[in-house]
Amino acid sequence: MNLRIGIVGATGIVGMELLSLLEERKISVAALRLFASEKSTGKRVYFSGQTFPVEKLEMGKLENFDYLFFCAGTSVSREFIPAAAASGICCIDNSSAFRGYDDVPLVIPEINPHALLGHKNIIANPNCSTIIALMAIFPLHQMFGLRRFCAATYQAVSGVGCSGMRALEEEIADSHSLAEKIFGERILSNAIPKIGDFSPNGYTSEEVKMLNESRKILSLPDLRVSATCVRIPVKRVHSIAAIVEFHEPFDMRLGEQILQQNNSIDFFQHNEFPCPLRRENMDNVAVGRLRSDTFLDNAVSLWIVGDQVRKGAALNALQIMEKLELLRLPKILRQGPETASGR
């Protein structure tokens, strides 16, 4: 890969993580441009031995890219992505702006990379909690057939960006004004069972995302999902307690083996378990507390932990780009060197 890459929202928590991952994963970047709001214009950001200026986001600047990563929120994505995609640039969007569109792939590369085929230059990155939950549930679904699941999420303050992390830091320093502005409540020593706005049926928008996105990613339009999403005073790692019911009887030994052998999962056996404090900056999702459910037949209870900024956002977006490059490569090879060079 020798790619021309742009990052919109480059000074935010996900944008900065993307830059770190580009360097860490040794992506060959031919050209890099960074965009952010006017207040960040003029800042310089370090990447791969040099510094790059942060530019004000303007429509005329979004050209001559192979990939644009959008990490700046729904309104920005809706304003800028359609024109960029129409010009031939592949846009990978971290917001919820296009996730519900039938012709926009919603992709976790380990689960549904086939959805990338025939894309129209807009690809949606799923919600962080959905990514982390399905990374653990999907391998079991392949063997036992998912019927439905119930999830309680314990979500880090990084889910609302840098402001959420600052709010927690301020509370630790004995100031809670920002926390109440961001979360509606104090966050330190607290648990807030509201993420997003309430819908008429009493579920929040975050909880509805887990239902709708799971159905789309797994191609299970009738899948039943019930979620309760809770914000807790943890920096950047989400945890999820899930009860998962299958169509087939669940074999505990086989389930453990499936999770152990999955290269994207760190499986904790017996009485060991993952905690968010120890999972920061980890690529893999961690799974533990696997046990037969005492409430439902053919069901298992499990505990899932994953870095929201990394696999829940930036890493998944970058893996989408890597998968697209792999899907593109065979076409070039089949053309042969002369055809591919235009001769």
Phi, psi dihedral angles at 262 (to 5 degrees): -80, 120
Is 128 designated active site?
Answer: yes
CB 144 within 8 Å of CB 133:
no
CB 222 within 8 Å of CB 120:
no
Q: Kindly report the length of the chain.
A: 343
CB 51 within 8 Å of CB 45:
yes
CB 211 within 8 Å of CB 201:
no
Q: 127, 190, 73: which is closest to 180 by C-alpha?
A: 190
Report helix, strand or coil for 200.
coil
Report helix, strand or coil for 93.
strand
Q: What is the C-alpha to C-alpha distance for residues 332 and 59, in angstroms, rounded to an integer?
A: 31
From 128, 141, 150, 229, active-site residue: 128
Q: What is the C-alpha to C-alpha distance for residues 172 and 151, in angstroms, rounded to an integer?
A: 29
Q: What is the C-alpha to C-alpha distance for residues 2 and 92, in angstroms, rounded to an integer?
A: 18
From 119, 141, 176, 238, active-site residue: 238
Residue 205 amino acid letter: S
Is 91 designated active site?
Answer: no
What are the beta bridge partners of residue 230?
A: 154
Query: Which are the catalytic amino acids?
Result: 128, 238
